[in-house]
Amino acid sequence: MAQAYMTETGSGGTGPRRPGFRLRRLVQRLRGDRGIWRRGIVTAALALLLALVMLLHAQIPNAVGNLGSLSETFLPWLGVVGIPLLLILALVRKSATALIAMVVPVTVWLNLFGGLLGDKTGSGGDLTVATHNVNAENPDPSGTARDVAASGADVLALEELKASEVPVYERALAPVYKYHSVQGTVGLWSKYPLGGVKAVDIKLGWTRAMRATVDTPQGQIAVYVAHMPSVRVKLAAGFTARQRDTSADALGEAIVHEQLDKVILLGDLNGTMNDRALNEVTSQMRSTQGAAGSGFGFSWPASFPMARIDQIMVRGVEPMSSWTLPRTGSDHLPVAARVKVGTGS
């Protein structure tokens, strides 16, 4: 059979190209491009800078505008946004130098967050817990209560409870939860008896944290519910988080002195697990999302989640699975987890 393909001839005639002809021609063109290594030096430098920021985020000082905590709050997004933008610039500039440099931030990002990309959820467990910042301005508190109760949680924590709406939540949750306690603007609902209920002082002057013993069939657990002060990003002041940081230290101190071995923390901490300001808490507890979740589990804002600031953390119990729940009338997503309390379950 006659050859089905023809190559370009010196006379300028053309015919169908052999497979790979255009790729070879592109490679030859790039080989002849003497600027391929000189172009894109700035893009390459930005790629290396991005890698350093992600790798050394703990060294970014908080002295000026809490820049360290701000960068750690949105740390995954530095790579999610920055890497594609720099890659596009490298391709537009046709820069071999920039393209090679991109390997560094990609490697750093995968080292930091690659473990969260997989699905670590497992089966089993004997206790389901959930937490939700219901938002004081929630237009449908009863609907929100029914939605989170439908999650099947045995223990449910609610934050940012408006005093006038507390009876609404109590009525809506009563059919599912026999026991509950509200302390200030936080509350705990449980299918199992509660004891040792008390407010926890997190240095605010009013109650936004509580502690209770939940008497589960597998044994007693200390459950803390907390709502850390809000943080803001202001042009003049930067990341205003000092009050949040002080409260986090106080909460961590309370958990340090907890007498029970099995502890669960539920709440809106207004900070991520990467944020150094929460070290007093995160250093002694595990995140259920990091240990047994799928993906990042972002919970705020509900319209386009960008950060995991609603946390379920444990000590002395084993996380089995962790997930976010469907959106309610709040600006936060509810989060839930299944844990193993008893050694024989």
pLDDT in tens, 10-49: 444 455 556 566 656 655 555 656 678 888 999 999 999 9
**What pLDDT is attached to residue 237?**
45
Average pLDDT, the chain: 89
Domain boundaries, the chain: 21-117, 127-340
Whether 139 shows a pLDDT value over 80: the answer reads: yes
Out of 1-5, 170-174, 193-197, 304-308, pick the least confident.
1-5
Domain covering 127-340 assigned CATH 3.40.50.300 in the classification: no
Per-residue pLDDT tens digits for 82-137? 999 999 999 998 899 999 999 999 999 999 999 888 899 999 999 999 999 999 99
Q: Which residue has the higher pLDDT, 72 or 187?
A: 187
Under 8 Å between Cβ of 228 and 247: yes
Whose tokens are 């605010």? That residue is: 204
Whether 315 shows a pLDDT value over 60: the answer reads: yes
Binned at pLDDT 50, 70 and 90, residue 68 comes out as: confident
Q: Which residue has the higher pLDDT, 174 or 66?
A: 174
Laid out side by side, the sheet with 263-268 consists of 194-199, 209-216, 219-227, 263-268, 310-315, 286-287
Q: Judging by beta carbons within 10 Å of its beta carbon (0-12, 13-18, 19+), is residue 214 exposed, middle or buried?
A: buried
* Three-state secondary structure string covering the chain: CCCCCCCCCCCCCCCCCCCCHHHHHHHHHHHCCCCCCCCCHHHHHHHHHHHHHHHCHHHCCCCCCCHHHHHHHCHHHHHHHHHHHHHHHHHHHCCHHHHHHCHHHHHHHHHHHHHHHCECCCCCCCEEEEEEECCCCCCCHHHHHHHHHCCCCCEEEEECCCHHHHHHHHHHHCCCCCEEEEECCEEEEECCCEEEEEECCCCCCCCCEEEEEEEECCEEEEEEEEECCCCEEECCCEEECHHHHHHHHHHHHHHHCCCCCCEEEEEECCCCCCCHHHHHHHCCCEEHHHHHCECCCCCECCCCCCECCEEEEEECCEEEEEEECCCCCCCCCCEEEEEECCCCC
- Tell me the pTM: 0.84
